[in-house]
């Protein structure tokens, strides 16, 4: 019942429309109840009385009632439809707004399909109940009561015989409601599982085909679809028993009416018009009786959907902006990690990390996979909140700053960049919609994207496909770099930002980034020595702790984790440098070796010029 009352409170903003909808629905019901009475008078006074003139008037009366009923019905549908669609819109906006305020950690726990199911089908179920089901249910219940009163007024003995099915109808409807509700909740949950599986397979369609997992994924999808089928069959089985039973009970009353009422007409204690009216009213009970089962199912689906919606809405916002949060209008970019710890649930990722990065300095975060590099960088824009310690920007705890102000000064390029189904220019402007065409193009040039964009059919107006899959991985990554640069951020986070580009393009991007990072605080999460060479300082992490700091050459000379990771690559690079030098010297006739020609993008020898 708690869910029911919470759902009905959604009608609060549409009180007038709701009241008007109920009023029109009851007016439509009242007009329907006039029809048997007019029919009774037409039979008793005109037909049996042989007055054809009166038949015309009664016929016109029925047409008039029908016309007014038609007009009232149109008004009722427009009114309730507008209210229900408004509720759907408001509820979806409210739920989406709630989800947008949740941090990354929240979405780490929820499958996309589950969230989409609640945003779409569950909200529609609630809307259908509030806009139509509740009105129909109330009207049909009142109609049953009104007809019962009318029948008692016509002939109380005949009415009692005919209405004997009502207690049985109420009992069957109640049992139907109790049995159907848990089944429908299970159906909704399993539909969400199917949606999640479908979303996974659409997004990961390339991976499915690359690893030839079509049969496995089909089996998984088929298994989830089978569960939906089984749950839906259980619901259909329940309806198959109860809905016909609900429809059958009024027929018992009709049988009694024809037997007992027919005898009264023959005996003269009941007129033929009254019997026809009695029969018509009784038949009018059949539709409400049949519809009550459907409306009960609709109500149960709405309750189940409401519980799933409020499961999301009742979840607290895990990362609230403090009421006294301060703006950060002019960021210098100094970042401090003060004894920072962080965990994903029970899994500890960072432990007592302290690091000061002065404004304008470039720091490379290096370490084996899973050591906490990306997590540490993600704490700066407050994508996650620390479990312990503090993250400071220009001396301010990020938890004390307005999120929008903080993130406006931070540009982020991820390893797997996401693009919207929009034009290239719109994607680059995502972080700064007001950016001019010149600024967009300048950022694209720095990211080495202008050349391939110009070659596209519509240039910067070319619309990329969903998630940017119509572009190559390197092209998507360069657009992501341009998107970050157009914001002109004071802090730049490059999370393996050149991992999907070729060596030549990486060399060009690296040269451009060397200018871009000048004067900006930059965090580079990287695995390539060539990208690390952009950094003023290298910070090595292992198992969530800082184990070494220094320049590339200092860390190689010191040995340890960094030398173990990059020493072999450095040795191979130096061997190739020697080969290049030897070949160049031989080409020069054994004289002083000619300048070494390294492949485009190949890093300089240790200690040598880039």
- 427-478 pLDDT tens trace: 999 888 899 999 999 999 888 889 899 999 899 999 887 666 678 777 888 8
pLDDT at 145 exceeding the cut of 50: yes
d(CA 373, CA 63): 79
CA distance 367 to 524: 12
540 Ramachandran zone, left/alpha/beta (phi>0; psi -120 to 50): beta
Nearest to 388 by CA among 347, 343, 344: 343
In eight-state DSSP terms, residue 458 is T
Do 184 and 122 form a contact (C-beta atoms < 8 A)? no
Which candidate, 535, 487, 490, 545, places its Cα nearest to that of 513?
535
E strand intervals along 358-409? 362-366, 388-393, 396-397
Distance, CA of 528 to CA of 366 (rounded, Å): 10
Q: Is the pLDDT of residue 400 over 50?
A: yes
Amino acid 441: pLDDT = 93
pLDDT band of 596, cuts 50, 70, 90: very low
Q: What is the pLDDT of residue 127?
A: 87
Give strand pairing partners of 343: 348
Q: Check residues 512 and 377 and name the one with the higher pLDDT.
A: 377
Q: What is the pLDDT of residue 158?
A: 80
Task: Give the mean pLDDT of the chain.
Answer: 81
Q: What's the pTM value of the predicted model, to 2 decimals?
A: 0.64
What pLDDT shows up at residue 356? 94
- Structure confidence at residue 380 as a pLDDT band (50, 70, 90): very high
Instruction: For residues 219 and 197, give the distance between their C-alpha atoms in angstroms, rounded to a whole number.
Output: 11
Question: Does 576 have pLDDT greater than 60?
Answer: no
What average pLDDT does the segment 557-572 reach? 70
Q: What pLDDT sits at residue 50?
A: 66
Look at strands 396-397 and 388-393 and give their pairing. Answer: antiparallel
Residue 461: per-residue pLDDT: 93
pLDDT at 188: 72
Domain 2-313 carries which CATH code?
A: 1.20.1560.10
Read off the pLDDT of residues 81-114 as tens digits, 9 standing for 90 and up.
Answer: 888 888 888 888 888 888 888 877 777 777 776 7
Q: What is residue 601's predicted lDDT score, i.e. its pLDDT?
A: 37
- In the prediction, which pLDDT does 230 show? 86
> 293 or 368: which carries more pLDDT confidence?
368
Residue 570 has pLDDT above 60, yes or no: no
Element (H, E) at 410: strand 410-413
Q: What is the pLDDT of residue 575?
A: 47
Q: How far, CA to CA in Å, does 553 sit from each of 22, 230, 243, 560?
A: 80, 65, 80, 13
CA 399 vs. chain centroid, Å, equals 26
The structure tokens listed for 420 are 């919207």
Q: What is the DSSP letter of 352?
A: E
The token pair at 8 is 């009905």
Pairing mode, strands 362-366 and 521-525: parallel
The pLDDT of residue 136 is above 80: yes
* Level-2 CATH architecture, domain 335-409+489-564: 3-Layer(aba) Sandwich (3.40)
Rg for the chain, CA atoms, rounded: 37
pLDDT at 605: 38
φ/ψ of residue 537, rounded to 5: -145, 145
For residues 445 and 457, give the distance between their C-alpha atoms in angstroms, rounded to a whole number.
18
d(CA 328, CA 398): 10
Give the contacts of 119 (CB within 8 A, at least 6 positions apart).
92, 95, 96
Kindly state the tokens that stand for 52: 């054809």
Residues 6 or more apart from 535 whose CB is under 8 A from it? Answer: 362, 363, 364, 522, 524, 552
CB 400 within 8 A of CB 325: yes
Assess whether pLDDT exceeds 90 at residue 266. no
Cα dihedral: 282, 287, 290, 292 (round 10): -100
For residue 468, what pLDDT is reported?
67
When pLDDT is cut at 50, 70 and 90, the band that residue 583 belongs to is very low
Task: Write the pLDDT tens digit of every residue in 190-249.
Answer: 887 787 777 677 767 767 776 677 788 788 888 888 888 888 888 888 888 887 887 777
Domain ranges of the chain: 2-313, 335-409+489-564
Q: How far apart are CA 37 and CA 431, in angstroms?
A: 69
Contacts 24+ apart (CB under 8 A), 549-555: 553/606, 553/607
pLDDT at 267: 82
Amino acid 592: pLDDT: 43
Per-residue pLDDT, 386: 92
Q: How many CA atoms lie within 13 A of 255 on its CB side?
A: 7
Which comes out higher in pLDDT, residue 439 or 569?
Answer: 439
- Kindly report the CA angle at 510 between 518 and 486, in degrees rounded to 5? 60
pLDDT band at 597 (very low <50, low <70, confident <90, very high): very low
The per-residue pLDDT for 350 is 94
pLDDT at res. 572: 47
3-state secondary structure of 314: coil
Task: Please answer whether residues 320 and 330 qualify as being in contact, where contact means their C-beta atoms are separated by less than 8 angstroms.
Answer: no
Residues 550 and 558 sit within 8 Å (Cβ to Cβ): yes
State the DSSP H helix or E strand holding residue 241, giving kind and residue range, or none if neither: helix 214-256
Percent of the chain predicted with pLDDT > 90: 18
- Cα separation, 418 vs 469, in Å, equals 9
- The Cα–Cα gap between 570 and 579 comes to 14
> For residue 251, how far is the Cα from the chain centroid?
47
Question: First-to-last CA distance in the chain?
Answer: 72
| pLDDT tens digits, 478-533 | 888 899 889 888 999 988 776 666 777 677 777 767 767 778 899 999 877 777 87
Q: In 10 A of CB 210, how many CB atoms?
A: 9
Q: Which of 50-54, 120-124, 153-157, 543-547 has the lowest mean pLDDT?
A: 50-54
Question: Residue 495 in contact with residue 415, Cβ under 8 Å?
Answer: yes
Tokens of 565: 């990771």
- Sequence-distant (6+) residues with CB within 8 A of 1 are none
| pLDDT the model gives residue 271 | 83
Number of Cβ within 10 Å of residue 102's Cβ equals: 17
| Residue-wise DSSP of 262-275 | HHHHHHTSS-HHHH
pLDDT at 250: 72
- Return the higher-pLDDT residue of 332 and 600: 332
Whether 591 has a pLDDT exceeding 50, the answer reads: no
Instruction: Write phi, then psi, for 470 (nearest 5 degrees).
Output: -80, -10
Whole-number pLDDT of residue 469? 67
State the pLDDT at residue 274.
Answer: 82
Residue 498 contacts residue 528 (beta carbons within 8 Å): yes
Taking residues 176-181, what's their average pLDDT? Answer: 76
């Amino acid at each position: 019942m708690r869910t029911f009352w919470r759902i009905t409170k959604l009608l609060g903003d549409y009180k007038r429309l709701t009241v008007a909808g109920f009023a029109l629905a009851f007016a439509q019901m009242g007009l329907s109840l006039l029809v048997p009475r007019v029919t009774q008078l037409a039979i008793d006074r005109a037909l049996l009385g042989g007055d054809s003139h009166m038949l015309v008037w009664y016929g016109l009366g029925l047409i008039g009632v029908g016309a007014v009923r038609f007009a009232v019905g149109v008004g009722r549908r427009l009114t309730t439809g507008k209210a229900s669609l408004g509720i759907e819109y408001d509820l979806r906006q409210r739920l989406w707004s709630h989800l947008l305020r949740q941090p990354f950690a929240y979405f780490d726990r929820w499958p996309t399909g589950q969230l989409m199911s609640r945003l779409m089908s569950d909200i529609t179920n609630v809307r259908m109940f509030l806009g139509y089901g509740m009105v129909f249910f109330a009207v049909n219940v009142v109609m049953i009561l009104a007809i019962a009163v009318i029948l008692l007024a016509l002939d109380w003995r005949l009415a009692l015989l005919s209405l004997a099915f009502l207690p049985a109808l109420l009992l069957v409807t109640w049992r139907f409601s109790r049995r159907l509700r848990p089944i429908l909740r299970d159906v909704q949950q399993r539909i969400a599982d199917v949606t999640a599986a479908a979303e996974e397979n659409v997004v990961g369609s390339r991976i499915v085909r690359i690893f030839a997992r079509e049969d496995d994924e089909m089996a998984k999808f088929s298994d989830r679809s089978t569960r939906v089928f089984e749950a839906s069959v259980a619901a259909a089985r329940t309806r198959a028993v109860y809905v016909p039973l609900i429809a059958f009970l009024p027929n018992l009353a009709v049988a009694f009416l024809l037997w007992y009422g027919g005898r009264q007409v023959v005996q003269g204690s009941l007129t033929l018009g009254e019997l026809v009216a009695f029969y018509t009213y009784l038949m009018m009970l059949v539709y409400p009786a049949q519809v009550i089962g459907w409306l009960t199912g609709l109500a149960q689906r709405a309750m189940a959907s409401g519980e799933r919606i409020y499961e999301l809405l009742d979840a607290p916002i895990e990362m609230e902006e403090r009421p006294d949060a301060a703006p950060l209008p002019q960021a210098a970019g100094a970042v401090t990690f003060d004894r920072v710890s962080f965990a994903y649930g029970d899994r500890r990722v960072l432990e007592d990390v302290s690091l000061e990065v002065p404004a304008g300095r470039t720091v490379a975060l290096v370490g084996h996979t899973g050591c906490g590099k990306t997590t540490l960088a993600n704490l700066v824009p407050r994508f996650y909140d620390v479990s312990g310690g503090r993250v400071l920007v220009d001396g301010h705890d990020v938890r004390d700053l307005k999120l929008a102000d903080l993130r406006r000064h931070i540009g982020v390029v991820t390893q797997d960049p996401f693009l919207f189904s929009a034009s290239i220019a719109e994607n680059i402007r995502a972080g700064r919609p007001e950016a001019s065409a010149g600024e967009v193009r300048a950022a694209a040039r720095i990211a080495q994207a202008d050349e391939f964009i110009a070659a596209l059919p519509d240039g910067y107006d070319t619309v990329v496909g969903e998630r940017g899959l119509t572009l190559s991985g390197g092209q998507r990554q360069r657009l992501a770099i341009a998107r970050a640069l157009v914001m002109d951020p004071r802090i730049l986070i490059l999370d393996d930002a050149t991992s999907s580009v070729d060596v030549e393009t990486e060399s060009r991007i690296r040269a451009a980034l060397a200018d871009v990072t000048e004067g900006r605080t930059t965090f580079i999460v990287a695995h390539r020595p060539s990208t690390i060479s952009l950094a003023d300082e290298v910070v090595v992490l292992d198992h969530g702790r800082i184990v070494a700091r220094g320049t590339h050459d200092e860390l190689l000379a010191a040995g340890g984790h960094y030398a173990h990771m990059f020493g072999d690559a450095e040795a191979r690079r130096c061997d190739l440098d020697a080969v290049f030098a030897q070949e160049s010297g031989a080409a020069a006739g054994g004289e002083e070796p000619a300048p070494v020609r390294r492949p485009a993008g190949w890093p300089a020898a240790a200690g040598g010029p880039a």
